[in-house]
Structure 1
Amino acid sequence: MTTALLLIDVQKAWDDPSWGVRSTPGAEANVARLLAGFRAAGRPVLHVRHASANPASPLHPDQPGHGFKPEAAPRPGEPVFTKSVHAAFLGTGLEDHLRAHGITGLVIAGITTHLCVSSTARLGANLGFAVTVVSDASSALSLDDGEGGRIPAETAHRVALAELRGQFAAVQTTDEVLAGL
């Protein structure tokens, strides 16, 4: 089985204070460790970035936040897929690329655990890929609960991982993933 690292939306926009506090403060450092490990092992690395249609969004292509964080910057030859919805498989050519290159496993990390990471992991599993989500290399935002309260980012992160675990993905830490390379 060929397994690729798939980084989801590790973009500068998430540093904008308007998003609030994110879970997993060490996520970007762990993304950098995963990148180094996959590159050293000669394993495929793929990048996904979100392009918001809203010109005021920090994720809009005309905004500086659209760029990748330095820890997750693609190297020449590493494919970059741009999406405008949550799941990285929709409208991007990602699935075709994976199948054309014989990639059957995905190690997914990025931002945000409860939205784009989860959507991509779920769809990837439904398409038949073996999916692992890296718990300490992904992060979530706090959520409005619709009843006047807020769900803390760490809780949103833990719940998203719990929903994926065993149903759509394995959930591992960066150290566990790197040990398996």
Structure 2
Amino acid sequence: MDIRDNHWLTDARHCRSPHQDARPAGEISAVVLHSISLPPGRFGSDDITDLFMGRLDSRRDPFFNQIAHLRVSAHCLIRRDGYIIQYVGFNQRAWHAGVSCWQGRQRLNDFTVGVELEGDARSFTRHQYVSLVRLAHALMGRYPVITPDRFIGHQHIAPLRKTDPGPSFDWQYFKQLLLANPGPV
């Protein structure tokens, strides 16, 4: 997996979200991990893509009434089978972190990459961890300021507001895979 000169992955489906804008300083120095399932607890539909594309049909599920109006995106989504969809070029600002703070800095969308894992508080798949490690190596290779200690969870940057990727995300396993495979997986 590589990142092209245009800041898009070579091995991913591209689906350009309208919910993005220019990074103010162009800095790319950390990765925020999230988890999402739409509707909650269900996997495998196109509802996450529809949300990030601004076309979620609020009539399809009662929960969608609460979120269909949101203008949110992530740079990438890793599906349960490890398949990656990229919505925003890494040089652009995706709208994923919201009100947040990390290492004394706010406005994390300005300098982070947002990666959503299709999942919830119950579990993530081995396919997702493997794809995340491949993506991590591509990001670290292209943006050398990103190091293994600069992968953080949404719960770490907005602890009073967010709990994702949640207790079932195995940080130790992710870091073990990441460090055991110093190059592309």
Which of the five TM-score ranges fits, normalised by the shorter chain?
0.3 to 0.5
TM-score, scaled relative to structure 2: 0.33
Higher share of residues assigned helix: 1
TM-score, scaled relative to structure 1: 0.34
